[in-house]
Amino acid sequence: MDRSPLKLGRRTFGPDELLIMAIVNRTPDSFFDQGATFADEPAFAAADLAVAEGAAILDIGGVKAGPGDEVTVEEELRRTVPFVAALRERHPDVVISVDTWRHEVGEAVCAVGADLLNDAWGGVDPKLAEVAATHRVGLVCTHAGGAEPRTRPHRIEYADVMADILERTVSGEAERALALGVPRESIIIDPGHDFGKNTRHSLEATRRLPEMTETGWPVLVSLSNKDFVGETLDKPVGERLLGTLATTAVSAWLGARIYRVHQVAETRQVLDMVASIRGTRAPAVARRGLA
């Protein structure tokens, strides 16, 4: 299991810390919040609340992951760059991540203070890792099975889904990023739940997370309200919190370190409980049997 510190921006996180990456979408059509944080004021309010509830990382996205209206590079820049710049001043010590696969966006957000580039599409734009290396910021290397951005998987098959995840994220993207000059302590790998996968693939990736943590790279999981949770329990988007939290608890026990989520407070409680059971966090209060 990975036991090395993780360095992002001004922060260094120990190997036993379980970190929350809070989602702040600057999109009018996001699958979960349906554009609730598209405007500046609610977006800043959501970021402030996430930090207050225990998020160490804020992940800003300017393009919906799934199919939808075209978002040009110029429009993605408009949605993200000014917000990241203002957020940097508002929260100087919080890690700011930007969810993008485009190097032009990566360059612009790093110039105004982003600490981490969250590439959810598996290095489809190879220049993005070069941007991370130039700016000495972190990079999330995600498995998407070779899918094109904003597409859904159709009858995709793997001889061994975890072997493919490891080949693409570790042997492919992470080692390439390291060779380019991205700091080793700032590279993260993500199995990419739902990206280029059906529900059974995502479930298998979850139970085999130890194979990822054994590589030595810190593992991020993006589970929040995703379709594999919905299909497993036959629940619509608005009723997937319990399934998400169950998957979060299992992932924490199996060694994942970072959790990209919509609901921060609930996730923080789950992660703190797992950490306390594991013995890496003391109970917040310990009075029982001592009176």
The residues annotated with a catalytic role in the active site are 226, 260
HEC-encoded secondary structure of the chain:
CCCCCEEECCEEECCCCCEEEEEEECCCCCCCCCCCCCCHHHHHHHHHHHHHCCCCEEEEECCCCCCCCCCCHHHHHHHHHHHHHHHHHHCCCCEEEEECCCHHHHHHHHHCCCCEEEECCCCCCCHHHHHHHHHCCEEEEECCCCCCCCCCCCCCCCCCHHHHHHHHHHHHHHHHHHHHCCCHHHEEEECCCCCCCCHHHHHHHHHCHHHHHCCCCCEEEECCCCHHHHHHHCCCHHHCHHHHHHHHHHHHHCCCCEEEECCHHHHHHHHHHHHHHHCCCCCCCCCCCCC
Euclidean distance between CA atoms 196 and 131, whole angstroms: 25
